[in-house]
Amino acid sequence: MESMNETRTSAQRYVDILTEAGFKAVFGVEKNKDVLIALLNVVLPEHRRVTDLAYSTTEIPGFTMSNKSVRLDLRCTGVDGTQFIVEMQCYRQLNFFRRCVEYAAKVYDSGSERGDGHGYDIPPVYFVGLLNTGVPKFDRSDNEIWRDRYVSEYTFREKVSHEVVDETIFLNFVELDRFDKELEECGSMAEKWFYSMKHMGRMERLPEELRVQVFERLFEACEIARFTPEEKLEYEHDMMTERDYTNILNTYRAEGLEEGEAKGRAEGLTEGRAEGRKEEQLRIAKAMIGKGIDTLTVASVTGLTPKDIEKL
């Protein structure tokens, strides 16, 4: 089965951007900086145009309780010092929004360490999350405000007037899971971007409707045949690792639920499903720890506390 998956991956013409491996292969390399800039200018507010970027370290040192670092998907700095964090979110996670706030706050805090004499001349931070899972806790389906709107923005605003005193921390989420338009229905540049990102891994050519320079560059950056041998090897390795990780989560989730429910039936307990959920959390946590994943990430995925995870 694994060899079949490898064949299918290599037979694809374009990478699947909505995987962590595909996102990294396209946007994580400096030669595609122009493609990343074009994407940011589509999803960021109009006043925040990006003209150039410098790729920055993705590691935030001393982040967790155990003083381990956390590695972001992508971090860049604009010409005026503005920090941009770009993350691909492929899996639903507990406390996801809080994790995004903490990541952005840590990067914002690092801007105060420039020796400006505590003048608080701190550049703003924009967190851009590409979500294939939606924003947890929010159901957009019956809300007219969200019809044909797929980018949400959160920041510090006055409650009544919605006044923003200053640019500090902004969280922008591209909710790709809700986007289901066909290409001929896409009227804006943003919608054409969203369509391309959702369908890239399954397309065999650049559609005629997208034959403009920005999408020609996007498809060129995503074409696996254009990768160097080193880039292709790294992409295929990352894809196999990602599939393995997904299989681990799905397997342990299924086994945990089955064992918990079986235990509940055997003991006559009504909380069998709750037992299954707990067993699922523990199994997934152990699998992630075995992969070397940090405590904070394990906690956000499983819902366990850092103390519970340290006991494992």
Both 197 and 248 in one domain: the answer is no
Both 76 and 142 in one domain: the answer is yes
Both 104 and 142 in one domain: the answer is yes
Mean pLDDT computed over 38-46: 95
Whether 100 shows a pLDDT value over 70: the answer reads yes
Whether 181 shows a pLDDT value over 90: the answer reads yes
Both 256 and 210 in one domain: the answer is no
Q: Strand, coil or helix: what is 279? A: helix
Taking alpha carbons only, the member of 25, 31, 27 closest to residue 40 is: 27
Whether 3 shows a pLDDT value over 50: the answer reads no
Both 178 and 251 in one domain: the answer is no
Q: Strand, coil or helix: what is 78? A: strand
pLDDT of 168-177, one tens digit each?
999 999 999 8
CA dihedral 281→16→43→100, nearest 10 degrees, is 20
Both 287 and 303 in one domain: the answer is yes
pLDDT of 238-277, one tens digit each?
888 777 666 666 665 555 555 555 555 555 555 555 666 6
Domain boundary among 201, 228, 255: 228
Q: Which tops the pLDDT comparison, 108 or 294?
A: 108
Both 266 and 167 in one domain: the answer is no
pLDDT score for 118 = 59
pLDDT score for 226 = 95
Number of domains within the chain: 2
Whether 10 shows a pLDDT value over 60: the answer reads no
Backbone angles phi, psi at 89, to 5 degrees: -105, 105
pLDDT score for 166 = 94
Instruction: Give how far Cα 158 sits from Cα of 105, 141, 153, 163, 166, Å.
Output: 19, 27, 14, 5, 11
Domain encompassing residue 260: 234-311
Whether 133 shows a pLDDT value over 90: the answer reads no
Angle at 278 between CA 276 and CA 280, to 5 degrees: 70
Spatial distance between the Cα atoms of 236 and 241, rounded to a whole number of angstroms: 9
Question: Residue 213: which pLDDT band, with cuts at 50, 70 and 90?
Answer: very high
Tracing tokens 């801007």 back to the chain, one arrives at: 111
Spatial distance between the Cα atoms of 309 and 295, rounded to a whole number of angstroms: 7
Question: Residue 6: which pLDDT band, with cuts at 50, 70 and 90?
Answer: very low
Query: Which tokens in the block code for residue 230?
Result: 């080193």
Both 34 and 9 in one domain: the answer is yes
Mean pLDDT computed over 184-200: 96
Question: Residue 193: which pLDDT band, with cuts at 50, 70 and 90?
Answer: very high
Mean pLDDT of the chain, nearest integer: 82
Q: What residues contact 268, with CB distance under 8 A and at least 6 apart?
A: none
Domain boundary among 196, 228, 260: 228
Q: Which tops the pLDDT comparison, 134 or 306?
A: 306
Both 250 and 215 in one domain: the answer is no
Mean pLDDT computed over 52-78: 79
Comparing 101-105, 216-220, 306-310, the range with the smallest average pLDDT is 306-310
Domain boundary among 193, 228, 263: 228
Q: What is the DSSP string of 10-76?
A: HH-SB--TTSHHHHHHHHSSGGGHHHHHHHHHHHS-TT-----EEE---EETT-STT---EE-SEEE
Spatial distance between the Cα atoms of 35 and 198, rounded to a whole number of angstroms: 16
Mean pLDDT computed over 43-70: 80
Question: Residue 289: which pLDDT band, with cuts at 50, 70 and 90?
Answer: confident
Both 106 and 136 in one domain: the answer is yes
Whether 11 shows a pLDDT value over 70: the answer reads yes
Whether 115 shows a pLDDT value over 70: the answer reads no
Spatial distance between the Cα atoms of 107 and 47, rounded to a whole number of angstroms: 21
Whether 45 shows a pLDDT value over 50: the answer reads yes
Whether 64 shows a pLDDT value over 90: the answer reads no
User: Which run of H or E residues covers position 148?
Assistant: none
pTM of the model: 0.76
Q: Which tops the pLDDT comparison, 119 or 90?
A: 90
- Tell the burial category of 236 from Cβ atoms under 10 Å away from its Cβ (0-12, 13-18, 19+): middle
Q: Which tops the pLDDT comparison, 182 or 143?
A: 182
Percentage of the chain surpassing pLDDT 90? 48
Query: Which tokens in the block code for residue 5?
Result: 């998956």
Both 131 and 276 in one domain: the answer is no
Helices marked H in 200-290 — which ranges?
213-222, 229-267, 272-290
Both 129 and 153 in one domain: the answer is yes
